[in-house]
Amino acid sequence: MGRESSCGPYYQLRTQKGGNCIVGIPSLSSQELTSHLPKRRLDVYTSKIISSDKDLVALVFYGTEQSKNPRNSFKHVYIYHDLDLPGARRVQDVDGLRGEKGAQVAGETMGSGNTNLGEALWCCSNLYSDIKLRLSHKRLMIFTCRDTPHGGDGERDRQARTKASDLKETGVVIDLMHLMKPGGFDVSLFFCDVVSPPEDEAELGLQMEPCGKLEDLQKRVRAKEMKKRSVARLNLCLGEGMNVAVGVYITALQARKPNAIKLYRDNNEPVRTKTRLYHTQTGSLLLPSDTKRVQVYAGRQIVMEKDEVDVIKKFSDPGLELIGFKPMERLKLHHHLRSAVFIYPEEEMVTGSACVFTALLRRCSERNVFALCKYTRIRNSPPRFLALVPQKEEVDDGQAQIVAPGFHGIFLPYADDIRTLDTPQLPTASESQVDKMKEIVHKLRFKYRSDAFENPVLQQHYRNLEALALDLMAPEHIEDLTMPNVNMMDQRLGSLAQEFRDLVYPADYNPEGKTAPKRKPGEFCGTEKKPKVEMSEDELRGHVQKGNLGKLTVPVLKDACKQFGVKVTGTKKQELIDALTAQLTK
Amino acid sequence: MARSAKTALVLCLDVGFSMSNSATGQEPPFQQAKKVIQKFVQRQVFAENKDELGLVLFGSDNTKNNLAKDDQYQNISVHRHLMIPNFELLEEIQNDVQPGSQQADWLDALVVCMDLLQNETLGKKYERLNIVMLTDLNTPSSPDQLDIIIGNLKRAGITLQFFLPFPVDGGGSNPPHGGKALSREQQQGLEMTKKVMMSLDEEDVTGVCNPDLSVFKRVEKRPMAWPCTLTIGSSLSIKIVGYKAVCEERPRKSWSVVDAQTHQKDDIKRDVVYCLNDDEETEVQKDDTIQGYRYGSDIVPFSKVDQDQMKYKTDGKSFAVLGFTKQSMINRHQFVGTQVLKVFAPKDDEHAGVALSGLIRALDDLKMVAVVRYVYARNGNPQVGAAFPCIKEKYECLVYVQLPFMEDLRQYSFPSLENNKKYTPSEDQLSAVDSLIDSMMLVEEDGEKKDLFKVNHIPNPQYQRLFQCLHHRAVNPSVPLPPMDPWLTTALQRPLAVATRCQAPLETLKKKFPLKEVVKKKELKTSKELFGNSLGTGISTSLAVWERVGLHSSLGTGSSASLAVWERVGLHSSLGTGRSTF
């Protein structure tokens, strides 16, 4: 191999609070430093920053000439970044190691020397132990392109293995992120003894290829990473005394911009918000128990305690209650309310659950039926009905899971959720028209993949943040995949579009024309856009005296009320008039 | 304005003495009818629309109507003139409307109602006039005026609806199942009602409405049209109009916080203060704060103005086809968003209709969908979604659902179940599951496919319960909240027929699959009490029948045999006006 050493272990720790730390250790070779190596790490950094902003990350190079670590007790180990939250500065640092120029910089600062993975691992374990936070999850990723880092030095191999097992004993998960290597990367030569076996997934025969993980990492760039966590753990009740424990997961949900944080203008420090409830008259602070809840109907105020309002929503204890089964064709496509949930057994809560679940899953799937369930997520949440649609596991050639086994819970609408529409009575297309459209459809076929489209709104937001944080001149350009590629479509269609138009539209018809005599925006929004007619006080008094306020329109009256600071509770004309009269005859 | 069009409706309730008679163990027809009226008025009150309502009692001890003269139109009392219903009316119905000891001819009462409607709607505009008759038809009535009455109803455009305490089959005078045979008066009355309904119906065929649910269906919210243009490439456009077809409906009002003593909203003020993260918690003004976003350990200040300037912008509404793909490529469980749109051509544009129909049929034949970029309005967030073809007997449309973006997907993997020996069920166990599925099928395969549990026919229980409690509290301010309406509890449960059928397979299942709770967490103890006390009594079930006549069988309480079933003869769904569900 031309490269003597270019490896980087990476580790990641999760704190109890959900925080996460990563330490990366790349090593440098004397001659060439592959430019993609730091690039990878940069991607991990930027991705980590967006995906899980509470993770601590460190970056350590090994196989360097220079050494930089506490007391410099480890040779050829260079702690580039200590274990900490990654920030803009670090991204810039790593960015500096990119490309040829970056390789040069790296060569100058760290150089390339002997490789001793054992020392590097030892150093990492010190980094972990120096952290005072309680970490929920510790992970170490080794980036390397060499399957025999010590070139057959048995002593060093042994030392590395020992250190690795020490680390694993303290709860560190070691992952291998191997990079491209001509001739293939042979994990069995050395690294199989160093990395952790896939966690609880060991017994499922789910062996992800290391390179798959790397792709995974890159794929996650600029998408908030979601930890696999159930939204609820409940009983699926098949009947009295037959409770199967299941976890409820969310597998697709609209991602939104992270929340903004309020900062103090002078020093850009975050401020805290406090909400206070106080009495308008006495000014004394109120406790929640000093309040009640009210709704007004037909002029009557209906008062309830806060507890009552909550308890009204309670129908049953949290859980999934089986109602029965229906053939799949009974599940209507348009019965969609919100993102589905995913149901998977929780053997740790009720042993035997997985077996019942598996049997149910298999038979539902084979018989093409779904289970109808009543779903109460938490205490005081009103019930919703779910169609539990079976999904069998699918794996790809490399035994990696593409589709997980379990039930998808599709939310079904109640009667109130379905709206009655007046459907227009219109002529239908003839066979020749339909056939022409089929040609068009044929020309514009593509293979849809659910992960093919990025959300341009989010992507732009992240790019903007990045640009601001890293002082870039302009945010990186995003490719908007939601825009139709009109040129390509036109090209593929050729004359078909014209032909279809000739078939369905008469010559004088303009399909782009306005659908209806469109109302001008001003008209639509009512009075808002109209120039406000301010009325002088005298004019108004005149009206009041003559008693012909009633001739004015409601908006004018409202404006008048605002103008003279008259408080009005209602919106009825008479109420406005009364209020104005009262004010001006004082 | 079309929206202000309102309905005038007269409830005509028989309070005659026969209404108090009932077979043992059954609720008298009067009580059942009263409950229907209460439910209906309650719905109208909470709907807060402009619909007006009158109440006429017949068979009452007193007489109070315009037509009463000598011995004509006796024992008919106009209890409430046409006006917007309110809580006072609800209180009156609860406290003052009681069964009488007299009897009156229901045809006479009908005439009084017509008279009331005609007099009190004079000079005002109504979309519809309607009379609802609740009676057991147990009074002799003279049919000689029948044709004149029918003629008048037609002329005035009044629709009529009957609620009867016994089932009406198409066949005629067969005795109703379960209940006692009809009296001669009832049979005669039934014939007359049928005649009235038939002759009215000929006039007003469009008014025919599926009796299922029309009582509960909400028609109040007019769907908002979303006109747009569907584009394929740069040179093919089709005018379209989209409507929200399915969307989680929420009540229009929310709770506001008031002072516990005065019950005044104005007595309470909520205040948000900002303070620095120092020991003194120094307060700062809102104007002195800016917003920022976390970028790793840093917080990047990013003002609203900058953000608006730099953010992704769209230049107007859009429904642009990106391409076409096989329907099988779209995963049902990956639908996102909170609504389903139905897309039609504009009502008066037949060319657009033909063009869209071409697309819909082509997609349907090819089992494909259009993947489209959807933007609701200028600077709205763009979506990528699928437009499915939908061809119904009466109409064709595209059904649009939003699909996920890459960022929305969470690629979790779960341990395999099939490859794990510990979890693999035996043949024995599988067949136990099979018989459970067999016994719990909600759709019966033989003959007509009947669905025993249609979720889309159940009104949202949250709002049913909310309005039940609001009604209760409004009329009885100091009394604790009532228990859940039994019909509601029943409606949310496994149908009785299924529950009975699955008993044995369930027992087998329990034996075949040992389940053991892992003790240590108390959160597990729940759901055992769920089933015990929730089965309704006979009376409550019959109320459910009242509520949702058409649904009766599909709700499948199974215990309907011996109940007095009130059935509607009317083909007009007049009770369905206003907000019909809660």
Chain B CB contacts of A345 under 8 Å are: 417
Q: Are B314 and B378 in contact (CB under 8 A)?
A: yes
What are φ and ψ of residue A319, in 5° steps?
Answer: 160, 170
Q: Which amino acid is at B208?
A: V
| Encoded amino acid at A478, one letter | I
Report chain B residues whose CB lies below 8 A from the CB of A442: 366
Q: Which of B291, B373, B473 is the closest to A302 by Cβ?
A: B473
Rg (CA), chain A: 33
Give how far A97 is from chain B: nearest CA, Å: 20
- The Cα–Cα gap between A278 and B267 comes to 8
Q: Where are the alpha helices (DSSP H) in B349-485?
A: 350-366, 427-439, 461-475
How far is Cα B402 from Cα B502, in angstroms, rounded to an integer?
Answer: 38
Candidate from A326, A337, A468 with C-beta closest to B338: A337
Residue for token pair 């990119």:
A98
- Classify burial at A266, counting beta carbons within 10 Å of its beta carbon; exposed 0-12, middle 13-18, buried 19 or more: exposed
Q: Roughly what angle, to the nearest 10 degrees, separates helices B427-439 and B503-512? A: 160
Closest approach of chain B CAs to the CA of A149, in angstroms? 31
User: How would you write A43-109 as a 3-class SS string?
Assistant: HHHHHHHHHCCCEEEEEEEECCCCCECHHHCCCCEEEEEEEECCCHHHHHHHHCCCHHHHHHHHHHH
Chain B interface includes A403 (CB < 8 A): no
A566 touches chain B (CB under 8 A): no
| Chain centroid, CA A499 distance in Å | 44
Contact A571, A585 (CB under 8 A): no
Here the tokens at position A130 are 């120096």
When pLDDT is cut at 50, 70 and 90, the band that residue A10 belongs to is: very low
Our CA dihedral for B271, B272, B277, B281, rounded to 10 degrees, sits at: -10
Distance from the B53 Cα atom to the nearest Cα atom in chain A, whole angstroms:
14
Q: What is the pLDDT of residue A99?
A: 67
Contact B310 A475 (CB under 8 A): yes
- Nearest Cα to Cα of residue B129 among B89, B162, B156, B163: B156
Chain center to CA of A392 = 25
A51 confidence band (pLDDT: 50, 70, 90): low
Tens-digit pLDDT profile for residues A516-552: 444 444 344 443 444 455 667 777 777 777 777 777 7
The two three-digit tokens of residue B350, written as one number: 């037949």
In the A/B pair of chains, how many CB contacts fall below 8 A?
Answer: 679
CB B324 to CB A441 under 8 A?
yes
**8 Å CB contact of B345 and A302:** no
d(CA B434, CA B201): 49
- Report H helices in B63-203: 87-95, 106-120, 146-156, 184-203
Distance of CA A282 to the CA centre of its chain: 46
Beta bridge partners of A445: B324
DSSP letter for B64, please: B
Pair of tokens at residue A556: 């004018």
A244 bridge partner residues: A236
Q: Which of the residues B92, B209, B359, B417 would you substitute to probe the A interface, choosing the one with the greatest number of A C-beta atoms within 10 Å? A: B417
Confirm if A381 and A289 have CB atoms less than 8 A apart.
no
Distance (Å) from the C-alpha of residue B510 to the closest C-alpha of chain A? 7
Neighbouring C-alpha atoms within 13 Å toward the C-beta of B206 = 0
| Cα–Cα distance measured from residue A306 to residue B582, given in angstroms and rounded to the nearest whole number | 20
A505 contact B CB<8A: yes
State the DSSP code for A454.
-
Q: How far is CA B496 from the centre of its chain?
A: 22
> What secondary structure does DSSP assign to A230-293, as a single string?
-SEEEEEEEETTEEEEEEEEESB----PPPPEEEETTT--B-EEEEEEEETTT--B--GGGEEE
CB contact under 8 A, A272 and B334: no
State yes or no: pLDDT of A34 exceeds 70: no
User: What is chain A's length?
Assistant: 586
B444-473 burial code (b ≥16 CB/10 A, e <16): eeeeeeebbbbbbbbbbbbbbbbbbbbbbb
| Distance in angstroms (rounded) separating the CA atoms of residues B414 and A404 | 6
Q: Which residues of B546-566 are buried (b: 16+ CB within 10 A; e: fewer)?
A: bbbbbbbebbbbebbeebbbb
A73-110 pLDDT tens trace: 777 777 777 777 767 777 777 777 766 677 777 777 77
Q: Select the highest-mean-pLDDT range: A362-371, A393-402, B39-48, B198-207.
A: A362-371
Cβ distance A374 to B492 less than 8 Å, yes or no, reads yes
Query: How many CB atoms sit inside 10 A of residue B164's CB?
Result: 26
Residue pair A515/B241 in contact (Cβ under 8 Å)? The answer is yes
**Rounded Cα gap, residues B53 and B506, in angstroms:** 51
User: A454-468 in b/e burial notation, b at 16+ Cβ within 10 A?
Assistant: bbbbbbbbbbbbbbb
- Confidence class for position A42, pLDDT limits 50, 70, 90: low
Q: Give DSSP secondary structure letters for B521-532.
A: -GGGGTTSTTTT
Give the list of residues 6+ apart from residue A244 with CB closer than 8 angstroms, or none: A235, A236, A237, A238, A345, A350, A352, A353, A356, A357, B515
**CA A105, chain centre distance (Å):** 36
Q: DSSP letters of A322-340?
A: EEEEEEGGGS-TT---S--
Q: Tokens for A446?
A: 């593509």
The secondary structure element, H or E, covering residue A301 is strand A300-304
The residue in chain B having the minimum alpha-carbon distance to the alpha carbon of residue A297 is B46
What size, in residues, is chain B? 582
**Mapping DSSP to helix (H, G, I), strand (E, B) and coil, where does residue B168 land?**
coil
β B268-275/A300-304 pair status: unpaired
Task: Return the pLDDT at A530.
Answer: 43
CA B468 to CA B460: how far, in whole Å? 13
Cα gap B525→A16, rounded to integer Å: 27
What confidence category does residue A178 fall into, taking pLDDT thresholds of 50, 70 and 90? Answer: low
A541 shares contact with chain B (CB less than 8 Å): no
B452 vs A324: CB contact, 8 Å cut-off? yes
Residue B529 main-chain phi, psi, to 5 deg = -80, -5
What is the spatial distance between Cα A494 and Cα A485, in angstroms, rounded to a whole number? 14
The residue in chain B having the minimum alpha-carbon distance to the alpha carbon of residue A323 is B494
Q: How far apart are CA A201 and CA B415, in angstroms?
A: 6
Count H helices, E strands: chain A? 16, 20
A450, A476, A481, best to mutate vs chain B, most B CBs in 10 Å? A450
Whether residue A45 contacts residue A86, with contact meaning beta carbons closer than 8 Å, is answered with: yes
Burial of B18 (0-12, 13-18, 19+ CB in 10 A): buried
Token pair for B405: 């973006």
Nearest chain A residue to B505, by CA: A239
> Would you call A458 helix, strand, or coil by DSSP?
helix
Say yes or no for a CB contact (<8 Å) between B434 and A363.
Answer: yes
Do B492 and A383 count as a contact with CB atoms less than 8 A apart? yes
pLDDT at B167: 64
Q: Do A501 and B344 touch (CB under 8 A)?
A: no
List, in sequence order, every residue forming a beta bridge with B11; answer none if it has no partner: B55, B132
Mean pLDDT of A125-130: 78
**A192 Rama class: left (phi>0) / alpha (psi -120 to 50) / beta:** alpha
Q: Are B65 and B76 in contact (CB under 8 A)?
A: yes
In terms of Cα–Cα distance, which of A138, A83, A84, A142 is closest to A118?
A: A142
Is the CB of A258 inside 8 Å of chain B's CB atoms?
yes
Number of H helices, E strands in chain B: 14, 21
Interface touch B255/A353, C-beta < 8 Å? no
Are A88 and B366 a contacting pair at CB < 8 A? no
| C-beta atoms of A367 and B437 within 8 A | yes
- What are the phi and psi torsion angles at B574 (to 5°)? -70, -25
Q: State yes or no: pLDDT of A22 exceeds 70.
A: no
Order of strands, sheet of A300-304, starting from the edge strand that comes earlier in the sequence: A300-304, A291-297, B256-259
Which among B133, B96, B92 is positioned nearest to B112, based on CA atoms? B133
Decide if the complex's ipTM is over 0.85: no
pLDDT tens for chain B, 582 residues long, are 445 568 888 999 988 888 887 777 777 888 888 888 888 888 788 877 788 899 999 988 888 888 888 788 888 999 999 888 888 888 888 888 888 888 888 888 999 999 998 888 888 888 888 888 888 888 877 777 888 888 888 888 888 888 777 765 544 444 444 445 677 788 888 778 777 777 776 433 222 232 322 333 344 567 789 999 999 999 899 999 999 999 998 877 888 888 888 888 888 888 888 888 777 778 888 888 888 888 777 788 888 888 888 888 888 899 999 999 999 999 999 999 999 999 999 988 999 999 999 999 999 999 999 999 999 998 889 999 999 999 998 899 999 999 999 889 887 888 888 877 888 899 999 999 999 999 999 987 766 778 889 998 888 888 888 888 988 898 888 889 999 888 888 889 999 999 999 999 999 999 999 888 887 644 444 444 434 343 333 333 333 333 333 333 333 333 332 233 343 333 333 333 333 333
Q: Which of B74, B402, B311 is nearest to A340 (CA)?
A: B402
Residue B448 φ then ψ, to 5°: -65, 130
Q: Which residue has the tokens 């196989």?
A: A63
**Candidate from A202-211, A382-391, B256-265 with smallest mean pLDDT:** A202-211
